[in-house]
Amino acid sequence: MKSFTATLATLAVAGLATATPIYQLGGGQLRPRQEQQGNNDTESSTETAPVSSDPAIINIPSPIQHTGDVDACQGYQLTSANVIEGGVDGQLQLIGNCTAYGPDYNTLDLKVRFETDDRLRVQIRDSDGRAHVVPTQVDYAIGAWSPISEDGSGGVTNETSNLVFDWEENPFSFAISRKDDGAVLFNTSGAALIFEEQYLRLRTSLPENSHIQGLGQHNDNFSLPIEMENYTRTIWARDAYGLPTYTNLYGAHPVFINQITGENPSAYGVFLLNSNGMDVKFPESGRYLEYNVLGGILDLYFFAGPTPAEASKQYVQAIGFPAEVPYWSLGFHQCRYGTNDIVEAAETVANYSAAGIPLQIQWFRRWIMTLDPDRFELAKVQYFVDQLTSRGQNMIMMVDPAVATGRIEDDVSNYSTLQNGYRDGVFYKDPENSNQTYEGVVWPGPTAFPDFTDERARQWWTDEMVAFFDPENGVNISGVWIDMNEPASFLPYLEANVQRISAEREVPPVRPAPRVLEATVEGFERFTAGMNVSTPFDNSNTSTTTKRNVISTSQRPVARQSQESNETMADTVDPGLDSQWLYPPYRIQDRRAAPSMQNADGSGLKNISDFTVRTDIVQANGARTYDEHNLYGAMHGLVTREAELARNPDKKPFIIARSSFSGTGTHNGNWLGDSTSTWEQYIQVIRQNLLFAAFGGPVVGADTGGFGGNCTETLLARWAWLGAFNTFYRNHNEIGSIGQEFYRYPLSTVAGKAAIKTRLRLLDYIYTFIHKTHTDGTPAMWPLSWVHPEDANTISIEHQFYFGPALMVSPVVAENSTSVIFYVPNATYYDFFDLTPVQGTGSEITMDEVGYETIPLHILGGSIIPLRTGAANTTDQNRQLPFHIVVAPDASGEASGELRLDDGISLDVGDNFSDVTMDFTNDTLTIGGTFGYDGSSIVEMVVFAGQTENKTISLDGQQAANQFYDSEKQTISAWNLDLALGEHSVTLE
């Protein structure tokens, strides 16, 4: 074998050499790479942007000269390389002109770093440093990723890594393989690398029996249908009412886990740290995976697995461990878009109480640092919050990012949030006039958008949040909902008249006249019968947040147009350089037009800026929104967390967002957006919850009952149960639909009450597995195939899932049905409700007579689950109840479990926590761990499932006084233990 040094010397003299020696880094030596059978394909296909003849689609030519011919591109040659202990550095030189979608970068820098035993990072960027790079912790902590190591220190060496990096010199390509089994995970030799200012193309072949999971946010199958002809996953955050399949949705997560089935099942993960829009294609019916990116750099992370759960954990370690949430946030939430006044919210709370359905959190929508004095007088809202607090309940309010700038008829001179923003210059500037604020249209009508990359905007956001939510002079909320932060706008880019669009969309919405109350609201006695909701409280606290004077602005307010103005953008744009950021040469398959603006065939205006902010805006950090559009929601979450910590420095914030990017779990949870009240979407949201398992987001949930349309009684009842097994559990629907609070129908009352009470029993189990995700990245929800990767049948099962590590959920999925067919892997299970054993054989079973008061729920053998026992209506009450420990052995008679106890609120609990371990082996349950929590933690009962004969229970060597053997259910129970949680031994003899 030629020495690497000699080969480089030859290259330096000869220029672009024709020989293509193949090298490998990893496994302790540098050696020629063996050709991989079936993984070095050289076929390529032409993938060009479609040109539509549909007159409804306005195709505007890009100002950038390009050929669209990717097959003509020859790629790059590796012209120098330096092998270091922690990786390799190299330089790539362009081979001939490509110009597929614009000018090429002639010289690229290559860095390869072995960051951990199971993580390898490959970064390719332009040598001039002009291409956009996703901000790192050095800038602001969207995620945990750091700049790539310059010298290769701080990681592991190629000798100790579990991954191997191979490369070819001319044309340059690389491959990643696992050291222990030699499996090739990624191989780019099948197509030339393209690296242009507004287009990157990188293709890899896929192993046989690949099942790709991730690449979202989307509403397709959890395992993507990559065998479909021309299947493409587009990543570009957008407002996506109705969650249509095969389209891009609210978040941007360019990560996938490939689960490989067959004789030797395995998995690995790949994360592309790039915030630009992209199409991920699967040419030749899934033989390849191909990135088509609108710019930036290639910054790839490879995760060795070898199981899907391990690959997910390795990904979470790279992007940042998710934030913990307060215990109360795991209770049941209720929201309605269209709550007309504060008394209506009180009536909702009272109705839940009257129905005996535990409600923990009441939500409000669409307040942007303002209160309607007629319907939401500050004193009444404060009274409402005080009453909730006295009952152990909570309140959450929505805060959208866009701030109202006002219609022609509006006087916004005293709107301090807006005026302070003008004063501090925090809003996006108009690209055509940098002295003026850029405007869009959102729910308040004409709006301005904060530039969260600006330190002034971050401080302004914190100041406004602290002032508006001040406990004394404002609204003392418990958590925050941040919505519309893709960012969404109702303004098609080609239509510039925000006044006319606001009028046409009827935003802000017109509210009905204030009403007179027919009856006093139970539990809220100041809301009395005969009161007009607009009448101020007598002797009320009328204080308001401090009004700050408007001072001379560093940013000019908007110039308003009349509704009659004909000013619009022309249908064609002068082909100057600026328009390249509006009409990039390569067109991703973004579902650009919102549903109300679409044609019957789904087509609409084709512009990357449609229904969001203009993508040619230059932010305070120097980047264009073209490059960081997908980061807006992440930045909104980051600054909102900063604001919440400013309000309550010692408490865990609770923030739920709509848009997301990789790593945003470090700041907030997510809800899945505007689903519809259909059985199809009831099933689809299961897939979306699983998708966020691949994304490393443990706190996520759909709108229980669906958001849009009218939910039927039976669907609402079934969804009440399904929602209880989302980590975030909220009922929510829109203003134009009939109310779907659980108490509205008999079946949903029964289902909601039973589901919430079951969830309350499980709340410490849920709190524990979310804490586990926070500490080491263990998934919170699991597809069946992740728990049973050896069972190929599970890969296609997407209507069942594991909630935490121990509970298999198999919801009824057929409309109005009372039976369900579900798959039971080859393992031991126990019915959650009566602990009857079920031995799985890797086949389907049918459960009949599944009433609305229950759900098929099974404990996986080998698990120990702590439950609360007794009745509770709030999470505070729940925390006072004793524990009931369920031991569910596997076929070998063993089981284990964990329990995390702390005060459920504090950001830093110090030593005031207990991390309890529970292990059952040789007929002995051993309870151990760390016991520092000073709150109530009593074990009242221990139940051993799967016991075929009666045995005596001894506690720390003493026979338990109260015990019982149920021969039918095969359980042995001991109760009335009154056992302080600590180190104990419970033995079956």
Q: Which residues form the catalytic set?
A: 483, 486, 674
The residue behind tokens 């980051």 is 638
Instruction: Give the 3-state secondary structure of residue 266.
Output: strand
Name the CA dihedral angle for 778, 779, 784, 785, rounded to a multiple of 10 degrees.
-70
Measure CA of the first residue to CA of the last residue in the chain; give whole Å.
68
H or E, element range at 379: helix 378-390
Encoding tokens for residue 953? 């229970």
On the CB side of 727, how many CA atoms lie within 13 Å of its CA?
Answer: 37
User: Letter for the amino acid at 244?
Assistant: P
8 A C-beta contact, residue 396 and residue 364: yes
Instruction: Give the 3-state secondary structure of residue 329.
Output: helix
Residues 6+ positions from 116 with CB-CB distance below 8 Å: 155, 156, 314, 317
Encoding tokens for residue 430? 């108009």
8 A C-beta contact, residue 917 and residue 985: no
Report residue 934: phi and psi, to 5°. -95, 5
Which of 910, 804, 801, 777 has its CA nearest to residue 864?
Answer: 804
The residue behind tokens 């923003």 is 421
DSSP label at 793? G
Residue 595's beta-bridge partner residues?
none
Rounded Cα distance between 95 and 390, Å, is 72
Give the β-pairing of 278-281 and 288-293.
antiparallel
Rounded Cα distance between 505 and 488, Å, is 14
Rounded Cα distance between 88 and 9, Å, is 17
Rounded Cα distance between 442 and 154, Å, is 46
User: Omega into 487 within 30° of 0, i.e. cis?
Assistant: yes
CA 966 vs. chain centroid, Å, equals 44
Dihedral over Cα of 903, 863, 702, 280: its sign: positive
Instruction: Give the 3-state secondary structure of residue 850.
Output: coil
8 A C-beta contact, residue 885 and residue 971: no
Report residue 478: phi and psi, to 5°. -95, -25
8 A C-beta contact, residue 109 and residue 128: no
H or E, element range at 905: none
